[in-house]
Amino acid sequence: MKMQNDCLPCIARGSLDAARLATDDEGLQRKVVKKVLKELITFDLNSPPPLMALFISRTVKEITGVSDPYYRIKKKYNDFALGLLPLLEKKALDSSFDMALRLCIAGNIIDFGTHARVGRQKVLDTIDEALVMEINGEGEVFEKACEKARNILWIADNAGEIVFDRLLLQKLDCRKIIYAVRGGPAQNDATLEDAEYAGVTGMVKVIDTGAAIPGVILEYCSEGFRKVYEKADMIIAKGQGNFETLDPLDNRIFFLFKAKCQVVADHAGCRLNDMVIKNSNREGFAG
């Protein structure tokens, strides 16, 4: 997905959010934002928006010395989601595949790339909504694809959210799944450390993309990840960042996310706040 005009103020705001998490020094915060704004002047607008997150992360580290400004937020929401896990498992384990799928997508609300603040109540409200709202997409088609696939690559998104992923992993044959997280700190996206802390590594083989980008831009990823990507006959891509960066016409990919941004919603052909399952075999894309 190419950069849109509405992405520009969002990126500027995101740079300030990251800078504020890294330091209380307003002078250093301004330096971060000014350097990001300068980069935006010459940034290739044909590039996907998550690529700018890599520049923001490097800039924050360079100016403040902090390599992972979202570390405490990730820990907080991993703990919050793990605290909810017994209740979530009670809802999902003895229920249908559809219930686990709904809760898995609901977890995508834990996203500090699109929201400066999410809040625990917002997560709880999203869980309640997920149980009753219509999904934009076909859950049965997704379920059958999971059953048929031999090699599934699951590309994760946010810390905290990955605990919700466990609910759907419990419904699947984890022996044929490789679960991928980010290759380094990228907003509040999950890393190997988060996957281990959240208990995902005890369920499924976990690798990283080799790139500290909140999405998957293959040219930035490690050779090892690219080989797994090429071998997969089904790819489950969680979250907006993966949707913004991966090929929407690759019919192996099922995108699962909450539409939290109007630009993404327009591109996906859905409504803001929809729970989305998107696959090129079933539905087209706008723009």
Answer whether residue 287 shows pLDDT above 70.
no
pLDDT band at residue 286 using 50, 70 and 90 as cut-offs:
very low
Answer whether residue 217 shows pLDDT above 90.
yes
Indicate if 71-278 has the same CATH topology as 7-64. no
pLDDT band at residue 94 using 50, 70 and 90 as cut-offs:
confident
On whether the 71-278 domain is CATH 1.20.1260.10, my answer is no
Answer whether residue 282 shows pLDDT above 90.
no
pLDDT band at residue 84 using 50, 70 and 90 as cut-offs:
very high
CA 280 to chain centre: 19
Q: Rounded to the nearest 5 degrees, what angle is found at the Cα of 271, between the Cα atoms of 146 and 275?
A: 30
Return the pLDDT at 115.
53
Residue 181: HSE in the Cβ half-sphere, 13 Å Cα cutoff: 28
pTM over 0.75: yes
Copy the structure tokens of residue 172: 């699947």
- Strand order of the β-sheet with 253-258 is 135-136, 275-278, 253-258, 234-238, 152-155, 177-181, 205-208
Domain boundaries, the chain: 7-64, 71-278
pLDDT band at residue 123 using 50, 70 and 90 as cut-offs:
confident
Q: Mean pLDDT, to the nearest integer, of 240-258? A: 96
pLDDT band at residue 283 using 50, 70 and 90 as cut-offs:
low
Q: Mean pLDDT, to the nearest integer, of 229-244? A: 97
Q: Mean pLDDT, to the nearest integer, of 213-231? A: 98
pLDDT in tens, 135-165: 999 999 999 999 999 999 999 999 999 999 9
Burial of 165 (0-12, 13-18, 19+ CB in 10 A): buried
Across 16-20, 117-121, 243-247, 275-279, least confident range = 117-121
Which residue carries 């089904």 as its tokens?
Answer: 234
Is there a contact between 220 and 211 (Cβ–Cβ < 8 Å)? Answer: yes
Return the pLDDT at 121.
87
What integer best gives the mean pLDDT of the chain?
A: 93
Across 1-15, 84-98, 179-193, 202-216, least confident range = 84-98
What number does CATH give the domain 7-64?
1.10.8
CA 242 to chain centre: 6
pLDDT in tens, 42-77: 999 999 999 999 999 999 999 999 999 999 999 999
pLDDT band at residue 111 using 50, 70 and 90 as cut-offs:
confident
Give the separation between CA 191 and CA 203, rounded to whole angstroms.
16
